[in-house]
């Protein structure tokens, strides 16, 4: 079994913002923006306007204002979003020649474990909370050129007209995959960067990156012992959700 730790969601590098999380570890999943030169097949563009009503409601329940307290960038309302992964369809796409190179050779039964850099809606000792937010057990991996027309709506990498030649799409097994019902914090600020906490690294059996570095990486790290990770995850008592929010 192969398992990759994949960073997802809007952040300061891609979008200039971070998805919010509350003290009960409930989060709101906001994807990164699309490239400004992106073009889409008719009717398949996804925009931030479609998530804003639910995001504003998430903030109101927690007595926070999306713009004044959480400083959501208004300019994102004018841009399409790169909804990937799409937990409704249990898909994830990537660029097989670069960041997603390690995914080209993944097979049925391998794991994609998703994490994000989240910003607390209330004061926290850390500016960001790095946390696991979902997991896929792979069902199939397909080049974008092989995805049939009737499935183009299922992932951002096939909704777009300007696809990369090496782009791939992963579909997950529904009964073993999805967004988590709550996030699982894993990170801390250590040695000048955000890293996986030592006790969690030990429980997982380690990662392929030095000292659990997860702040940013060109290639997703791999789990040294995927079976130990799954044993650890089972103890977290999470539930899978097949919705983006």
pLDDT tens column, 63-108: 999 999 999 999 999 899 999 999 999 999 988 766 656 677 899 9
Residue (of 187, 74, 209, 199) closest to 132 by Cα position:
187
Mean pLDDT value across the chain: 93
| Least confident interval from 100-104, 115-119, 165-169, 215-219 | 100-104
Distance CA 237, CA 186 (A): 15
CA atoms of 72 and 28, how far apart (whole Å) = 13
222 in Cβ contact with 205 (< 8 Å): no
The predicted pLDDT at position 96 comes to 72
* pLDDT at residue 163, rounded to an integer: 79
181/167: higher pLDDT: 181
> What pLDDT does 222 receive?
95
For the stretch 139-163, pLDDT in tens is 999 999 999 999 999 999 999 998 7
Q: Which residue has the tokens 């995927």?
A: 226
The pLDDT tens digits for 100-138 are 566 778 999 999 999 999 999 986 666 899 999 999 999
CB environment 47-58: b (16+ within 10 A), e (fewer)? bbeebeeebeeb
Domain boundaries, the chain: 3-188
Contact status, residue 164 vs residue 94, Cβ threshold 8 Å: no
10 Å CB burial of residue 134 (0-12, 13-18, 19+) is buried
d(CA 212, CA 197): 7
With CA atoms as reference, report the closest residue to 30 among 47, 45, 6: 47
Look up residue 12 and give its two tokens.
């300061």
- What percent of the chain shows pLDDT beyond 90? 85
Cα 86 from chain centroid (whole Å): 9
Q: Given this model, what pLDDT does residue 126 score?
A: 61
């Amino acid at each position: 079994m192969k398992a990759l730790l994949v960073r997802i969601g809007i952040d300061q590098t891609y979008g200039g913002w971070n998805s919010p999380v509350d003290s009960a570890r409930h989060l709101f999943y906001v994807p990164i923006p699309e490239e400004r030169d992106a073009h889409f097949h008719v009717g398949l563009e996804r925009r931030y306007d479609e998530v804003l009503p639910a995001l504003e409601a998430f903030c109101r329940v927690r007595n926070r204002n999306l713009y004044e307290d959480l400083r959501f960038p208004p300019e994102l309302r004018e841009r399409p979003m790169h909804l990937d992964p799409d937990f409704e369809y249990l898909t994830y796409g990537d660029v097989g020649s670069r960041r997603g190179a390690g995914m080209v050779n993944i097979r049925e039964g391998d794991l994609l474990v998703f994490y994000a850099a989240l910003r607390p809606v209330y004061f926290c000792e850390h500016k960001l909370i790095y946390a696991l937010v979902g997991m896929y057990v792979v069902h199939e991996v397909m080049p974008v050129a092989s995805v049939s027309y009737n499935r183009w709506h299922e992932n951002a990498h096939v909704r777009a007209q300007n696809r990369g030649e090496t782009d791939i799409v992963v579909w997950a097994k529904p009964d073993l995959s999805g967004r988590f019902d709550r996030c699982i914090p894993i990170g801390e600020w250590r040695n000048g960067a955000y890293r996986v906490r030592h006790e969690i690294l030990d429980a997982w059996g380690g990662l392929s990156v030095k000292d659990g570095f997860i702040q940013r990486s060109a290639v997703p790290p791999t789990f040294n012992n995927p079976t130990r990770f799954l044993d650890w995850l089972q103890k977290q008592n999470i539930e899978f959700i097949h919705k983006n929010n």
